[in-house]
Structure 1
Amino acid sequence: MEEDLLYAEQIIKRWDLDSPFYTKLDYLFTGDRREAPQFVKSVNNLQSAMHFFVSESASSEKIVHAQKLMQVAMKRLEKEFYKILSANRDVLDSESVSNISSVSDDQNASEDEIGGEGISVSETVMADLKLIADCMIRPGYGKECAKIYKILRRSVVDETLYNLGVEKYSFNQINKLDWSVIEPKIKTWLRAEKIAVKSLFYGERVLCDYVFSSSEKIRESCFTEICKERAIALFEFPELVAKSKKTMDRMFRTLDLYSTISDLWPEIETIFSFESTAVVRTQAVTSLVKLGDAVRAMLTDFEASMQKETLKTPVRGGGIHPLTRYVMNYLVFLSDYRDILSDILADWPLQVQSPLPESYFPNTSSEETSISDRFAWLVLVLLCKLDSVADLYKDVAQSYLFLVNNTNYVVLKVSDTNLKIVIGEDWAEKHEQKLKQYVANYERMAWSKVISSLPVDPTVETLSVEAARDCFRRFNLEFNEAYKRQSTFFISDSKIRDVIKMSVARKILPGYRTLYEKYRGVLRDVDSVVRYAPEDLGNYLSDLFHGTGGPGSNNTSSYSSSPSSSVSRNC
């Protein structure tokens, strides 16, 4: 033990910071590095010698001398530890550290190995720090080592968060800001949060766990003091946003915030698993709860605003109502967050005064029942509002065409987007049948008089010349009247437009063509009676449903319902 003491004294004094022979530019763990393992070994031997001297009741001079040598060694190691941490910030960045799965303890790596295919620079630096920390913790100098570590690594965390654009806000600050100012801050937070959790905090936890692996207490203390307050401030921001004004335009950013925390929760729980960092986990959960509350409040306001909406003016030409576009596009965007919404709405069942009609109840799994019911209910509220708009049209045919346009828009939005997953394929199929019924009702109300003006089967039925003349005159009158009305109507979807045109043409043109070919030659005043050739009728029909006839008076007046003209629809 006395030989170990002499050897330790020889090595330690050579690196004594207060020695007149010490060169300030010299460091154990840089450059040559050959004496670094010898120095650490001598310190460990010195500690063993000190324990031996105490147990053997050795002279106090030897113990005091050994203690002084230990203080010299610790002072040296403190400087080395500080030097390594401060000089290697670039190789100890969180991303590099978090990507290292295992770190070598080999202190004798050659320069060729370091940074090459062998041991990386980051691994070497981490191994040096661990070696020094272990060496200082054994004789009871862990606090001195941890103090240096906390100061330097905290500055790294602060600098990284600053560069990510993370700022600390109060509720009053956020609540006073316009949404145009808050939204860019949310975008910054969304990006910063992922980097902070997956790289910064994770990397700091990996580095801390490795460097101070010999002391759980120091490991927890260092990580907590470096990251806890910064993480709390980071996770508090979503809560402040959630507690501020709740308007519908904030829905999707609120869901983005919820989604990000929810996705990162497993990492948050693992990284901040210490008891002393439980407050970080609590803050993350609190933000999730508040964000969920905000989403539910905004959905409630959305539904209430739809139900309170008073629609007093019909849409020109029976086209798509702005409310239809707004509601359906909003629901389409919401359906992209279906998994998150399922989580948020899981304990928030739909409360309505009457049960959903069977045709609106989606056949979905029990896990999705809440979100599916709510979306189906919102669509039902919309369709009921559209029914009230349809009643505003004076022309019943136009009211059905309005329902065709709007129902088709709703069905397409459900069928072609994630709404199909949320509400279900059965819903879309049932409403496609409802759409076909609206089309049939429109054709019946708009063109039945034109169709009935023709003989049932002109190929078999023989008319007198006078009867044929009356038939042409009646047809001319009914077609002119129908065309005049229909020329102001509008069908937005080209597919539906073509389907209706072809359907109407099939009901009119064959019978008229037969009548035309059979009696045109026998009428003396043919030019005044036969006003349309079959080709002309086809051209007139092909020009319909583009709304080119102008608004007219019949699509701005209120619809006066009567038993013969009432429209039976959704509600």
Structure 2
Amino acid sequence: MVDMIPSPPQRHRRTLSTTVVDETVAAAATLVSKWHPDDANSAYSLFLHASAPEADHFLRAAADLHRSMLFFASDPTNAHNGHGLVQAHHLLDTAMRRLQLELRLLLSAPGRDHDARSLRALAQTMMAAGYGKECISTFKERRRAALRRLYTVVQLHKLTWDQVDDNIQSWLATARAAFSSVFPAEKELCDTVFAGDASVGDAVFEDVANDQAANLLAVAEAAVARARRAPERLFRVLDVHDALSEVLPAILSVFGDRSEVAKRACSALFKAGEAARGALASLEASIQKEPSKATAAGGAVHPLTRYVMNYLVFLADYEGALDRINHQQQQQGSPECSSSSSSSSSMSIGWLVQVLLRKIEAKGGSYREAALGHLFLANNTHYVAKKVTNLQEAIEEDDYGAAARRHVDAYVRAAWGKVLNAIAAADGVEEAVMEAVATQERWVAADEEMGEMLRAAATAAVVPKYRMFYRRHGAAVRLTPGDVNAMIAALFGGIATDSTSC
């Protein structure tokens, strides 16, 4: 029997493939060494300062190193491959550190639009080589820092209302820019850089933008919470409501309608609407609680009338916000997101005008002299009529001017009735005129227009009848029709006329 002679062990020989891979690694090593991340000139960017072909060569070299690692790892029994694997891995790790540095440089370049093509190619190379974690971590770090410069949120819970109010001024512009422009651009950047995997792009964007978006919304939430039901703070609440309504479509589109940012924005919008309705209800209550006996000296325009009407003039500038808030209320009190409107703000503003007018009527009835009560009503209704012209389309057309004229007529009848009765009876006429004038000397008109209206109405009612009386009894009286006319003309801030002209 022939003894079996053991065959000699197989020797691994270099193959053509091995030679090609070795040459590829050597070429990559030269390029990696040139752009080593630890060099003193590492701030000099391969993508920003070198030529485009060289940047592409570096990316291809990194990909070649990864493929070389896979080649060497495919035959671990080959001693040469083991050495080649270690070398390729070391070079790849160095190349990836360079790309990580390049990513920082690209994302930090001041005054320069991001080179989306370079960023995308760089990210794809890193992620394909198994360095996705480093790529994503560096990207998020830089983009968070960039967004953090948008707006610095102070500790709102420690601030007074005035400080929150001042904070809102800059917030309004920042929030509009951030949600309408900055965040959409950031989302587009994430989608472009991580185009290979949409879920990765979405996750990166959320990690980068959510905290800053939440910080911005925190300002709105603080403003609404601090506003409570104070009418004087309503306008800031409406500013917040306006801004949130404006940016809400972008929030839903960029962050997604089921995102926490969208839910928080919707909640803030809803609460702003609730706060606005509360402030209007508080204003209505304060009007109704105003003591009816608290009148104005001389029948002047009451401070309540001035405050409420000037308030409503400012409120009319927020018709759009009021429309949306009214529509929000119609949605069965649900904090749903909607920017459409189907109702008018006329009920809100018009109703408050009516509440004010009812209070004015009650105050007018509190005067001892009926004439002074009617003068008060004429002055205040006239003031309302003048302000209503500034409300434009905010309330339905109503002839408040006619109401003021009716009160003027009622004033004339009450203030000059005794004089007219005396003329009719031809008894005590001059005494009645002097008493009427003396009584009204300290009464006031809302403005020059109302003063002219009051003087004209009194002159038309009294002077012609006094002239007829004077023609019959002139020898027995000392006041001429011109004297009476001049007395009336001097009332309510007027200037006495020359008695000879009458």
- Band of TM-score, shorter chain: 0.7 to 0.9
Pairing 1:448–2:422 present: no
- 1:449-528 aligned at under 5 Å gives the runs 449-454=418-423, 471=426, 474-513=428-467, 516=470, 520=474, 523=475
Alignment coverage as a number of residue pairs? 465
- AA aligned to 1:155 is A
Which is richer in helix? 2
Distance 1:292 1:63, change over 3 A: farther
| AA of the residue aligned to 2:55 | A
- What is the distance in 1 between the residues matched to 2:363 and 2:494? 18
Superposed displacement of residue 7, structure 1 = 5.7
Structure 2 counterpart of 1:167, which letter? V
Residue of 269, 272, 285 corresponding to 2:252? 269
Deviations 1:360-414 (A, max 9, x none): xxxxxx9335x32233322222112111211111111111111011111112211
* Structure 2 residue aligned with 1:213: 195
Instruction: Tell me the equivalent position of 1:557.
Output: none
User: What is the DSSP-based 3-state SS (H/G/I as helix, E as strand, rest coil) of the residue aligned with 2:108?
Assistant: coil
- Structure 2 residue 343 is the aligned partner of structure 1 residue 368: yes
1:402 matched to 2:376: yes
Residue 102 (structure 2) pairs with residue 148 (structure 1): no
Residues 103 and 122 in structure 2, CA contact (< 8 A), matched pair in contact too: no
Q: Which moved more, 1:206-215 or 1:61-70?
A: 61-70
Unmatched segments (≥5 aa) in structure 2: 1-15, 331-340, 496-502
> Residue deviations 1:304-324, cap 9 Å, x none?
222222232321110111111
| 1:181 matches 2:200 | no
Give the equivalent residue in structure 2 for 1:411. Answer: 385
Query: Is 2:487 the counterpart of 1:540?
Result: yes
Matches within 5 A, 1:128-527: 128-158=118-148, 160-161=149-150, 164-169=151-156, 173-174=157-158, 177-244=159-226, 246=228, 247-273=230-256, 278-348=259-329, 367-369=342-344, 371-417=345-391, 420-425=392-397, 428-429=398-399, 431-454=400-423, 471=426, 474-513=428-467, 516=470, 520=474, 523=475
Take 1:512 and 1:188, find their aligned partners in 2: how far apart are those partners? 67
Instruction: Write the letter of the residue equivalent to 2:439.
Output: R
Instruction: Sort the Cα spacing of 1:235 and 1:480 in 2 relative to 1 into closer, same or farther, 3 A.
Output: same
Instruction: Please give the alpha-carbon distance, in whole angstroms, between the structure 2 residues aligned to 1:56 and 1:65.
Output: 11
For the residues of structure 2 that align with 1:63 and 1:202, how far apart are their CA atoms?
A: 48
Q: Distance in 1 between matches of 2:244 and 2:303?
A: 35
For residue 228 of structure 1, give the secondary structure of its aligned residue in structure 2: helix
**Alpha-carbon distance between aligned partners in 1 of 2:35 and 2:281, rounded to the nearest angstrom:** 76
1:429-483 deviation line (CA, Å, top 9, x unaligned): 2x3322222122112222234345557xxxxxxxxxxxxxx84x64312211221
1:89 aligned to 2:115? no
For 1:439 and 1:274, how far apart are their aligned partners in 2?
59
Instruction: Provide the secondary structure at the position in 2 that maps to 1:286.
Output: helix
Is the partner of 1:167 in helix, strand or coil? coil
Distance 1:204 1:68 in 2: 38
Q: Give 1:11's aligned amino acid.
A: A
Output the amino acid matched with 2:405. K
Q: TM-score, structure 2 length as denominator?
A: 0.81
Displacement of 1:89 in angstroms is 2.4
CA distance in 2, matches of 1:489, 1:412: 20
Tell me the distance in 1 between the aligned counterparts of 2:320 and 2:36.
70
CA pair 83-57 structure 1, distance change in 2 beyond 3 A: closer
Structure 1 contact 307–381 (Cα < 8 Å) conserved: yes
Query: For 2:153 and 2:217, how far apart are their aligned partners in 1?
Result: 11
Shift of 1:347: 5.0
Q: Give, in angstroms, the shift of residue 148 of structure 1.
A: 1.2
User: CA separation of 1:535/1:11 partners in 2, compared to 1, >3 Å: closer, same or farther?
Assistant: farther
Q: Give the partner amino acid of 2:183.
A: F
Stretches of structure 1 lacking an aligned partner (at least 5 in a row)? 93-120, 350-365, 456-469, 524-528, 549-571
Aligned mate of 1:29, from 37, 41, 47: 47
Q: 1:13 aligns with which of 17, 29, 40?
A: 29
Distance 1:20 1:201 in 2: 35
Q: Structure 1 pair 392/22, CA: closer, same or farther in 2 (3 Å)?
A: closer
CA distance in 1 between counterparts of 2:82 and 2:255 reads 42
Greater relative contact order (Cα < 8 A, sep 6+)? 1
Instruction: Give the match's secondary structure for 1:545.
Output: helix
Contact 1:142 1:218 in 2 (8 A): no
When residues 347 and 80 of structure 1 are mapped into structure 2, their CA distance, relative to the original with a 3 A threshold, is closer
Code of the residue aligned with 1:196 in structure 2: it is A
- Answer whether contact 1:512 1:534 (CA < 8 A) is retained: yes
CA deviation vs aligned residue, 1:4-39 (integer Å, no higher than 9, x gap): 745642432013359999954265324332421122
Distance 1:503 1:245, change over 3 A: closer
8 Å contact from structure 2 (residues 237, 276) kept in 1: yes
Asked if structure 1 preserves the Cα contact closer than 8 Å seen for 2:72 and 2:84, the reply is: no
Distance in 2, matches of 1:367 and 1:23, equals 66
**Is structure 2 residue 38 aligned with structure 1 residue 38?**
no
Is the 8 Å Cα contact of residues 317 and 547 (structure 1) preserved in structure 2?
no
The AA in structure 1 aligned to 2:30 is R
Distance 2:80 2:289 in 1: 92
Aligned residue type for 2:267: T
Query: What percent identity do the matched residue pairs reach?
Result: 28
Deviations 1:492-539 (A, max 9, x none): 12112212212322333344446546764xx3xxxxx43233333332
CA RMSD of aligned residues (A): 3.5
User: Whole-Å Cα distance in 2 between the matches of residues 194 and 134 of structure 1?
Assistant: 33
Paired residues of 1:8 and 1:43 also in contact (CA < 8 A):
no
1:19 and 1:479 mapped to 2: Cα distance? 106
Which letter maps to 2:188? V
- 1:558 is aligned to none
**Alignment CA distance shift 1:263-1:434 (3 Å):** same
1:43 deviates by 3.9
Query: C-alpha displacement at 1:345, in angstroms?
Result: 2.5
User: Which deviations, in whole Å up to 9, do the C-alpha atoms of 1:325-371 show, x marking residues without a partner?
Assistant: 1222222222221211222223547xxxxxxxxxxxxxxxx9335x3
SS at match of 1:149: helix
Do the aligned partners of 2:65 and 2:92 also contact (CA within 8 Å) in 1?
no
